[in-house]
Structure 1
Amino acid sequence: MNPEITFTRLPLIEPKEILTHMSDPRVAEHMPLLTAKWDAAAVGEFVAIKEACWSRDGLGHWAILCDDNYVGWCGFQKEGDEWDYGLVLKPEFFGLGIRISRKAIKFAFADRRIPFVTFLLPPLRNNLGALTKFGAIFVGEIEFDGSTFLKFRLETA
C-alpha cells in the first residue's frame, strides 16, 4: 500500500521537526547554500520567508506529510519571472522524491500562473533521470549566491 502524500503550510509543523530536518548533515550535502547552523531563530526566519512568498505571489513552499508525518518541504518560489521548484526531504524519505515531485509538478501544470518551472541542482547530483522523465531540458550552468548549479526547465503551458 502506498503511503498518502499531502501538502500543508510550514507554520503548521512543529519548529523542532524542521530544525532536526535542516540540521541533518546528509541534507546539507545536497544544498550548497545551506552553510549556516540552524537554530530556533533560523527556523522562524525560514518559515517567515517561505510564508512571505505565499503573501506576495499566492504560491510558495509546502510542508510534505507522508501518512500525516512531516517528511520535508517542497514547492514553488518566484525568482524574477521564473517559478523555481525546490524539494528538501529528510534523508530517510529520499526515495519519495519522484512521487512527491510528480504531485507538485501536476499542480504546476494545472496552474495558469506557471508557464514553466525551473530546477536548480548542485553539480554533484549525478542522477538526473527523473528530470528528463518529467520532460525538463538542461539549460546550462548558472551561478547563484556564489555557488554553481545545473539549471533545468520544464514547460508547463
Structure 2
Amino acid sequence: MTNSVADDMENATDPRITFGRLPDVSPHEILAHMSDPRIAEHLPLLGSAKWDSDTVSSFVAAKEAYWHRDGLGHWAICANGRYVGWGGFQKEGEEWDFGLVLKPEFFGLGLRIMKMAIAFARTDARIPSMTFLLPPSRKHLRALDRLGARFVGETAYNGEPFRKYQLDIR
C-alpha cells in the first residue's frame, strides 16, 4: 500500500499523462496546489495574496478566458488520473508562451510534459514557436537547452523580471 500520490507516481514505471480542463478539477485541489509556499518561490506573479475559493474561481475563469479568446489555453494536467498541476499556452501578442506549474512532488514529470506540449504545438499550425518566461529564481535550465530552446534575453512581465527563451518548432 502506498502512502501518497507521489508514491503512486514513483511506483508507476510510466505514468499516463493526460490534459484536461481546469474547471474539471476540484477547487480544493487547485487551492492546495497554489497555496503551497514552494510554488510561490518560482511564481513571482502570485504576489502576496492569500488564495481562497474566490481566488481559485477567478484563476480558473481567467485561464478559461484564453480558451475562448484564442482557442487554446491552460490545461489541468493529470498523471494516472490524479491532478499534478496545470500548464499550457497563452498568447502574448504574436507569441505563444508556454507555462507549467506542477505540484512540487511531481516536478520530475516536467520534462516529459513539456515534450508532450511541444509535440502538440507541432501539430497546431497557429504555433510556429513557443516562448518560456522563467523567473530569476529558476537555476536549473538544462532541460530547455536539451529541448533546443535559445535564450532571447531579459524581459519584464507585469513588472516582474523574467528570462525569456524561445523554441522554434517548425
Residue identity opposite 2:112 in structure 1: R
Residue identity opposite 1:146 in structure 2: G
Q: Which residue of 2 aligns with 1:80?
A: 93
Instruction: Write the distance in 2 (CA, Å) between the matches of 1:33 and 1:48.
Output: 17
Instruction: Write the distance in 1 (CA, Å) between the matches of 2:69 and 2:157.
Output: 22
Equivalent residues, number: 157
Q: Which residue of 1 aligns with 2:29?
A: 17
Instruction: Write the distance in 1 (CA, Å) between the matches of 2:117 and 2:156.
Output: 25
Residue 31 (str. 1) matches residue 32 (str. 2): no
Instruction: Write the distance in 2 (CA, Å) between the matches of 1:153 and 1:3.
Output: 28
Q: Which residue of 2 aligns with 1:40?
A: 53
Ranges in structure 1 where 5+ consecutive residues have no aligned partner: none
Residue identity opposite 1:40 in structure 2: S
Residue identity opposite 2:102 in structure 1: L
What secondary structure does 2:46 align onto?
A: coil
Residue identity opposite 1:142 in structure 2: T
Q: Which residue of 2 aligns with 1:59?
A: 72
How far apart are 1:59 and its partner, in Å? 0.3
Identity %: 63
How far apart are 1:60 and its partner, in Å? 0.3
Instruction: Write the distance in 2 (CA, Å) between the matches of 1:101 and 1:38.
Output: 27
Cα-Cα RMSD: 0.7
Residues 21-64 of structure 1: CA distance to partner in whole angstroms, max 9, x if unpaired?
A: 00000000011111121110111011111111101100000000
How far apart are 1:156 and its partner, in Å? 1.4
Q: Which residue of 1 aligns with 2:148?
A: 135
| TM-score, structure 1 normalization | 0.98
Ranges in structure 2 where 5+ consecutive residues have no aligned partner: 1-12
How far apart are 1:126 and its partner, in Å? 1.3
Q: Which residue of 1 aligns with 2:4?
A: none
The structure that has the greater radius of gyration is 2
Does the CA-based 8 Å contact 2:41-2:137 persist in structure 1?
Answer: no
Q: Which runs of 4+ in 1 moved over 3 A?
A: none
Match of 1:50 among 58, 63, 68: 63
